[in-house]
């Protein structure tokens, strides 16, 4: 079934009493009872499917989780309270029965790098960082590090590099490691990492999937082998999403394919326009034929979809010039997020990569004149004229 169809049908219309609600209601109950206590006993014992306590299962979350499984073509999903909670629990599940070592892409969401260094490392889980787009380097890092888990993003932030998920999945598998892929930037419309051999996919639902700037949430979608591990971890540790957020996310996802198509088309046009501006030194966008991962992009991405993130450098600009430019924006929102219906501009050195040492940022290629634009669904002419007056 096409993803547009799955987005509006999967997970919904579960029978509740005699009637079937057209959309999934918000279930707020923290616990559930049955006519006979014996049945609750069987539910607690997991001999019978059913609800008992909201940390274990919640019907609203179940609807969303079914929808996420359908979108990513996975086996099991867990809706989490944030994208970072999803990253943490996916890594924990991946390392459960494996060596406590991680090989991770060196270009990752800022908080993910911080989590590896300040949450996992103190627990004795060491991470070796590698250029995930250099397959030979990845192979070497896996051989040297003997990791239990490899972690990467489908499209890296903010320089939009694209690694070969299928090849890396094969390498990880051969070494007995699980592959965890953060698919937030690409979304299941562009890439479904589980189909390419990844074991666990994570999302910040806060971004494209919920899409309206009103939800904080995350999700893990797994292959068959890791489903029960993730759910068991969650039953004990409880990183679960609240049912109101779950409802909003399901509502958002119904239009996600439409929104994302529009965002991708807008982004192509804006990237092209930016590349022609004299004040713009360099544009980072996957459609660029000169993109270092161009061959991989054409192999793994669907035709004419390159994502909706555009990064660019302003010639000779430092923090001051960047702030002036950002203050001039009237339509594009200067906010620390992405994937919403409205366009958003972020200054990585100030926000997403703020806590990294300047030298580490420099090594990652994130210069002080770099801006990241998350393209929204507005009319492209309006976004362009806003950028034009701000760049003036």
**Mind telling me the catalytic residues?**
55, 109, 182, 207
Q: Sort strands 344-346 and 370-374 into parallel, antiparallel or unpaired.
A: antiparallel
164 binds ligand PLP (CB under 6 A): no
Q: Which is nearer to ligand PLP, 43 or 344 (CB)?
A: 344
* Cβ–Cβ < 8 Å for 344, 338: yes
In the complex, residue closest to ligand PLP by CB: 83
206 binds ligand PLP (CB under 6 A): yes
Paired residues of 179 in beta bridges: 150
With contacts defined by CB under 6 A, name the span among 105-113, 169-177, 373-381, 384-392 that binds ligand PLP: 105-113
Least CB distance from residue 210 to ligand PLP, whole Å?
9
181 binds ligand PLP (CB under 6 A): no
157 binds ligand PLP (CB under 6 A): yes
Q: Which class for 288: exposed (0-12), middle (13-18), buried (19 or more C-beta within 10 A)?
A: middle
Q: Which is nearer to ligand PLP, 43 or 105 (CB)?
A: 105
What does the per-residue mask of binding to ligand PLP show for 55-94, with x meaning CB under 6 A?
---------------------------xxx--x-------
Spatial separation of the C-alpha atoms in residues 234 and 57, rounded to whole Å: 10
Where are any strands of DSSP class E within 197-331?
Answer: 200-204, 218-222, 280-284, 309-314
Least CB distance from residue 146 to ligand PLP, whole Å?
26
27 binds ligand PLP (CB under 6 A): no
- How far out from the chain centre does Cα 377 lie? 19
Distance set, CA 199 to CA 85, 112, 185 (Å): 17, 18, 18
- How far out from the chain centre does Cα 59 lie? 23
Options 6, 62, 192, 207; binder of ligand PLP; rule CB under 6 A:
207
* Cβ–Cβ < 8 Å for 339, 373: no
Options 27, 185, 208, 301; binder of ligand PLP; rule CB under 6 A:
185
Joined tokens for residue 91: 């890594």
188 binds ligand PLP (CB under 6 A): no
Q: Which is nearer to ligand PLP, 280 or 371 (CB)?
A: 371
Spatial CB neighbours of 71, under 8 Å, sequence gap ≥ 6? 3, 6, 7, 10, 188, 253
109 binds ligand PLP (CB under 6 A): yes
184 binds ligand PLP (CB under 6 A): yes
Q: Which is nearer to ligand PLP, 43 or 310 (CB)?
A: 310
328-339 core/surface letters (b: 16 or more CB in 10 A; e: else): ebebbbeeebbb
Spatial CB neighbours of 60, under 8 Å, sequence gap ≥ 6? 24, 25, 26, 27, 243, 246, 247, 250
Least CB distance from residue 156 to ligand PLP, whole Å?
9
225 three-class SS: helix
246 binds ligand PLP (CB under 6 A): no
A 10 A CB-CB count for 262 gives 19
Options 153, 223, 245, 293; binder of ligand PLP; rule CB under 6 A:
153
Least CB distance from residue 172 to ligand PLP, whole Å?
19
Q: Which is nearer to ligand PLP, 250 or 317 (CB)?
A: 250
A 10 A CB-CB count for 276 gives 8
With contacts defined by CB under 6 A, name the span among 18-26, 104-112, 281-289, 296-304 that binds ligand PLP: 104-112
Place of tokens 């360099």: 282
Q: Which is nearer to ligand PLP, 54 or 151 (CB)?
A: 151
243 binds ligand PLP (CB under 6 A): no
311 binds ligand PLP (CB under 6 A): no
- How far out from the chain centre does Cα 109 lie? 10
Q: Which is nearer to ligand PLP, 154 or 369 (CB)?
A: 154
Binding site for ligand PLP (CB under 6 A): 82-84, 87, 109, 111-112, 153, 157, 182, 184-185, 204, 206-207, 216, 218
């Amino acid at each position: 079934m096409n993803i547009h169809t799955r987005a509006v049908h999967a997970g919904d219309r579960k029978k509740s009493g005699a009637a079937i609600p057209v959309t999934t209601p918000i279930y707020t109950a923290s616990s559930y009872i049955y006519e006979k206590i014996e049945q609750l006993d069987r539910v607690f014992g997991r001999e019978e499917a059913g609800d008992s306590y909201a940390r274990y299962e919640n019907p609203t979350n179940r609807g969303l989780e079914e929808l996420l499984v359908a979108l990513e073509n996975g086996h099991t999903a867990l809706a989490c309270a944030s994208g970072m909670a999803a990253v943490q629990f996916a890594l924990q599940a991946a390392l459960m029965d494996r060596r406590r070592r991680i090989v991770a892409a060196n270009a990752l969401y800022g908080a993910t790098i911080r989590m590896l260094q300040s949450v996992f490392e103190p627990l004795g889980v060491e991470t070796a960082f590698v250029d995930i787009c250099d397959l030979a380097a990845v192979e070497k890092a896996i051989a040297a590090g003997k990791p239990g888990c490899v972690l990467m993003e489908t499209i890296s932030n903010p320089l939009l590099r694209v690694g070969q998920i299928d090849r890396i999945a094969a390498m990880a598998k051969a070494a007995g490691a699980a592959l965890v892929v953060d698919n937030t930037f690409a979304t299941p419309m562009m890439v479904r990492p589980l189909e390419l051999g990844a074991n666990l996919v994570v999302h910040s639902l806060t971004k494209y999937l919920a899409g309206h700037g009103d939800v904080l949430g995350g999700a893990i979608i797994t292959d068959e082998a890791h489903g029960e591990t993730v759910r068991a971890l969650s039953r004990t540790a409880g990183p679960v999403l609240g049912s109101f957020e779950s409802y909003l996310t399901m509502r958002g996802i119904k239009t996600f394919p439409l929104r994302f198509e529009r965002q991708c088309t807008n982004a192509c046009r804006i990237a092209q326009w930016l590349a022609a501006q004299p004040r713009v030194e360099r544009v980072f966008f996957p459609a660029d034929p000169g993109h270092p991962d161009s061959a991989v992009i054409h192999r793994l991405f669907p035709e004419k979809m390159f994502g909706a993130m555009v990064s660019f450098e302003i010639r000779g600009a430092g923090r001051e010039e960047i702030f002036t430019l950002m203050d001039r924006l009237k339509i594009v929102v200067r906010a620390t997020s992405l994937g919403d219906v409205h366009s958003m501009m972020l200054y990585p050195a100030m926000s997403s990569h703020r806590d990294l040492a300047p030298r580490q940022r420099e090594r990652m290629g994130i210069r002080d004149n770099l801006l990241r634009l998350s393209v929204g669904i507005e009319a492209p002419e309006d976004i362009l004229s806003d950028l034009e007056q701000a760049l003036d």
